[in-house]
Structure 1
Amino acid sequence: MFIGYKSSKSKKILIMNSKGGAGKSSLTMAMARLFSSKNIKTELIDLDPQNTSYFWGGNNKEIRTQTFLTSSRVPFSLALKLELDTELTIIDTPSNFNKFELDKYLSLADKIILPLQASPIDLHSILGFIKNLIASPVYKKRNIPVCFVITRYKGRVGDLELMHRVLNKLKYPIIGVMSESDAYQSLFIDEDVKVFQYLDKNLWVEIERWINI
């Protein structure tokens, strides 16, 4: 049985960063595989025209996937339906969106995860994006919880220290680090989810805790 998006009681998590290459799709896929492996009914919605999450997520029978372009004239709430027993919905967004599109995305979310790489360029970009985020009337009205995940971390301690030093001044927590590892690519094509047992275990524990599902 299917119901309207807004009527669904599932927790809706928006994965968002206006900069390309931030690791949004990798984090989206990893989260979908993690929670579905724990028998949590998970759906994935891909708003990116590239449809990376939609394409690879569709290879897993445990994850229901949908795609939607916000440029469509059909309202999101009418175009997309969720299964009645869905517990978690993960939404992958595109890059380079405008303020109008940002407001659309924010209207879909219960919580927001901002993935970004540990680099000065990505740090500068995310600070500019956060200015737009907090200026959004939708964000102000809904006061949506936000957190950071550092992605594609290559082990350079100095880079990570910089991220903590700057981002800790904001009110959003850094809940963990996702390593730059080929093991995560297996989640796109393989049913094996053992990667969560040995790689970045603290991150996945904290994501579960933060989402609270």
Structure 2
Amino acid sequence: MIISLLNQKGGAGKTTIAINLAYAIAETQVKVLLVDSDPQGSARDWGTVRSEPTPFTLIGIDRPILHQEVPKLSEAYDYTIIDGAPRVTDLTRSAILASDQVLIPVQPSPLDVWASAEVVTLVREAKLYKPNLKCNFVINRKITNSLIAKEVIDALSQYGIPILNTQISQRVIFADAFSQGSVVSEYDPKSTALAEIYQLREELIGATN
């Protein structure tokens, strides 16, 4: 299964979700590949800072050959996660065509809702070639005890793309863990942030602890 996290707007939290999700899936004793397709290389920078080996394989492919190379590479893995580049480019199109499922992280703001339109358009175009391609929105960096997430969900409904039940909240632990080359699973195994990541994992692949 190849899952890509895509959103043309920078700062949507694609890399944070990609790394924590890859780690959480790898914890279920399956083989996971994380592909950093962002030319900025944030996931690769995280791997450089990290002091311990990762339970998944991390590589970089930041050229629009993802649809050619990732399916071949993924044959050696149970799950492949693509950390997408910001902005709608040939890289984004290539990532979509490589994927079985596209996740669009959306922060609870009108700007993020509007910015999702172009990725949704590309997904719809790709469905002409890949009719079984799945796509979901996931609310990210939700402000706890705020009603704005509900407003964003109502706004996203115009696109006709399913919204995952899992919502990832804005929490300092994500940034703290990332800066140390870590993930929330290692940083605080009892954190609510990790519970949300596990919920996302369960919703996507059905794996529980």
TM-score interval for Structure 1 and Structure 2 normalised by the shorter chain: 0.7 to 0.9
Correspondences of 1:111-126 after superposition (within 5 Å): 111-126=101-116
* Residues 88, 187 of structure 1: alpha-carbon distance in 2 compared, 3 angstrom cutoff: farther
Which of 74, 87, 102 does residue 96 from structure 1 map onto? 87
1:64, 1:153 → 2: CA distance?
29
Residue 190 of structure 1: how far off its partner (Å): 3.2
How far the C-alpha of 1:97 sits from its partner, in A, is: 2.7
Query: What residue is the counterpart of 1:5 in the other structure?
Result: none
Name the SS of the counterpart of 2:63 in structure 1. Answer: coil
2:199 aligns with one of 170, 192, 205: 205
Give the superposition deviation at 1:14: 0.5
Q: Distance in 2 between matches of 1:176 and 1:75?
A: 28
Mapped partners of 1:69, 1:25: distance in 2 = 14
8 Å CA contact 1:45, 1:68 repeated in 2: yes
The alpha-carbon distance between structure 1 residues 208 and 159, as it changes in their structure 2 partners (threshold 3 A), is same
Pair 1:147–1:196, CA change in 2 (3 A): farther
Shift of 1:127: 2.9
Give the drift of 1:69. 1.9
The counterpart of 1:38, out of the listed 15, 23, 28, is 28
* Structure-1-length-normalised TM-score: 0.79
C-alpha offsets along residues 132-172 of structure 1, whole Å, 9 cap, x if unaligned?
432x2x22221311111111122252211111212234232
User: Secondary structure in 2 aligned to 1:190?
Assistant: coil
Percent pairwise identity: 19
2:157 matches 1:165: no
* Contact 2:153–2:163 (CA under 8 A) maintained in structure 1: no
Name the CA shift for 1:180/1:67 in 2 (closer, same or farther; >3 Å): same
SS at match of 1:185: helix
Please list every run of 5 or more consecutive structure 2 residues that lacks an aligned counterpart in the other structure.
none
Q: TM-score, normalised by structure 2?
A: 0.80
Runs of at least 5 residues in structure 1 that lack an aligned partner in the other structure: 1-10
CA shift for structure 1 position 49: 0.7
Note closer, same or farther for the CA distance 1:196–1:76 as it changes in structure 2 (3 Å cut).
Answer: farther
Residue 68 (str. 1) matches residue 71 (str. 2): no
Any conservation in 2 of the 1:37–1:193 contact (CA below 8 Å)? no
Q: Which has the higher helix share?
A: 2
CA displacement at 1:187 relative to structure 2: 4.0
Q: Deviations over 1:71-105 (max 9, x none)?
A: 57x98429973573x2111100111133x443311
RMSD across aligned C-alpha pairs, in angstroms? 2.8
CA distance in 1, matches of 2:200, 2:64: 34
Deviation string 1:96-145 (CA, Å, 9 cap, x unpaired) is 133x44331112101111101100111111134323432x2x22221311
C-alpha offsets along residues 152-197 of structure 1, whole Å, 9 cap, x if unaligned?
1222522111112122342322332111112123443236616464
3-state DSSP class of the match of 2:98? coil
For 1:148, the equivalent position in structure 2 comes to 137
Runs of 4+ in structure 1 deviating by more than 6 angstroms, as ranges, are none
